[in-house]
Structure 1
């Protein structure tokens, strides 16, 4: 069912002017398609038609073959990033896109091991990324920080190395530690020590869960990794007790509606359980995930909630507040953004 707004109800507020925080954006996936095409041409990277057609590729990752195809496209796109200048361009453009969409705070997620071979090693790669984030933040005025993410397809010892590195750079802009890739592979508990290292070092725990796998994946993130935020988490909607637990603990779910549909987790935008999570009191932060592959950025996620799920402007404003409160932004930036949300609603 698609909701129709009653005549006279305020629906003219521009979503792009709504201050919000963006907590679920992957590094390579944030790249502009035009930038990918330019870099591919520069380095002689052959791009498959799925990345050159001008339309988001047709993906369905609910089976292993579909996830493999998604990951292959992502890896090809990442191979276009080869120099510090490429990294700087990607981060600058991601910040520009977020500012255009009304974001006042961005936590971009990255596994620096993916870029280390071409950037001089793991430590130089992370330093290049953090320098680029700092420069883009100063240039655009957008608050930006980094969530370092381990790959659950790799050995848990690799995750511990990344966690120690992330803690080491907490004073340079790393605010969180994540766990990404196919959640159907690798048990969350195998990474418990890595997350303990990150938490003890003052980092926010934000693993992926509850997207390709069901509620048990979310529970594992809570029980084994002591997550403060869950990347996705939408499948928690299938378990009322789990919803209550997330709401009572105030664990923010980084929900990415467009990617949920693109990857086949849900058939249609109206099937994404935004309303169920919202009504249960589960905090949410809408995110774009990988705009390069899914074709929409941050503001479009709010438009989806408005158009397909009947969220009023007051409810969209509350979603924006939840994104800010779930962020690692300093209290003064949070206060400024929350005041801006009130101003947007009062307009």
Structure 2
């Protein structure tokens, strides 16, 4: 984060960590601080993979490439090792509180954290207790930090579609406790989107947003499947839609928000360099975007750094960064009064002089 501030100050640009924004693509275990993971692994005697331990101790993310199944398996192995260190309700509360603290530092005012509660159920007393512990932790973090947090329950493509239906019903049941959406994660090359259409229908009928992953490891057909079969309101990633101009037009026309995670795309080998991520292509086609950090634990950067990538590698001006922040708010499940306050604060960020400029005044307190 200090590096983000330094880059902004060097250019006389506004600090992106002060830009109010919504964070719509953050996975639960992947939000953990590296120091927290190392501490919990030591506490429970969990032997982390050497590649993960060495990366965390060295302050650098592990080397990953998931464009083939072997690479994805390695990524999942590291993720599963980290998840194995979350064993008690207090671990869940700590993770959520720290994720909220990190988001606040990056200017996030609304966070929708994504979780598959079946992954934590064996150690937390079952599926329902696991989700209730997570929701209680989110509620506590919201009170303690002031950050508005909600939960997106995600099914796993690697599991049976009937499991997804169970999760969808559970998500709807807890909509009044902070569940706002239903997703589908893991390797999009496995399992057809239409296999999960009934689960997403249950979620939609229960008033939840549809936000499946698509268009990251697979190309435009994956995006079309999410639109046609799962009636996606948002897309986790969606960047490969840039390869099909007609699909871009369709996304723009429907106002489907793509949760774009630039650092993640590069870390997993979807694109070779930050400048290869098609941020400009999507933006200029009118496709709404919500920049996200995905899994900071494994990819090494959090929310504000994604905006810095847009600035540094794609030439986004402060006006365009502010518009990206607005798009993140419009794509969120935030109620209208919260959206209005956030949009007003984004305008205030843009109206303030850049860092170091005469007469610069602090950003007004959030209206949230």
TM range (shorter): over 0.9
Q: Does 2:177 match 1:172?
A: yes
Q: Give how far 1:52 is off.
A: 1.7
Kindly report structure 1 stretches of 4+ aligned residues shifted beyond 4 Å: none
Tell me the TM-score normalized by structure 2.
0.91
Question: Contact 2:13–2:318 at 8 Å: present in 1 too?
Answer: no
Aligned pairs for 1:217-256 (under 5 A) are: 217-256=222-261
Q: Does 2:58 match 1:57?
A: no
Tell me the TM-score normalized by structure 1.
0.97
Give deviations 1:202-240, integer Å, cap 9, x for gaps: 000000000000000000000000000000000000000
- Counterpart position of 1:43: 44
Q: Give how far 1:10 is off.
A: 7.3
Q: Gapped runs of 5+ residues in structure 1? A: 1-8
Question: Contact 1:50–1:56 at 8 Å: present in 2 too?
Answer: no
- Which secondary structure state, in structure 2, belongs to the residue aligned with residue 52 of structure 1? helix
- Counterpart position of 2:30: 29
Among candidates 138, 146, 150, match of residue 141 of structure 1: 146
Aligned pairs for 1:1-347 (under 5 A) are: 11-53=12-54, 54=58, 55-347=60-352
- Which secondary structure state, in structure 2, belongs to the residue aligned with residue 149 of structure 1? strand
CA RMSD, Structure 1 to Structure 2 (Å): 0.9
Give deviations 1:239-285, integer Å, cap 9, x for gaps: 00000000000000000000000000000000000000000000000
Give deviations 1:173-194, integer Å, cap 9, x for gaps: 0000000000000000000000
- Alpha-carbon distance in structure 1 between the residues aligned to 2:293 and 2:308: 12
Q: Give how far 1:12 is off.
A: 2.0
- Alpha-carbon distance in structure 1 between the residues aligned to 2:270 and 2:125: 38
Greater Cα offset, 163-172 or 329-338: 329-338
- Alpha-carbon distance in structure 1 between the residues aligned to 2:25 and 2:227: 18
- Alpha-carbon distance in structure 2 between the residues aligned to 1:167 and 1:321: 27
Question: Contact 1:10–1:313 at 8 Å: present in 2 too?
Answer: no
Q: Give how far 1:11 is off.
A: 4.4
- Alpha-carbon distance in structure 2 between the residues aligned to 1:11 and 1:281: 28
Question: Contact 2:153–2:182 at 8 Å: present in 1 too?
Answer: yes
- Alpha-carbon distance in structure 2 between the residues aligned to 1:137 and 1:46: 32
Q: Gapped runs of 5+ residues in structure 2? A: 1-9, 353-368
Q: Give how far 1:50 is off.
A: 1.9
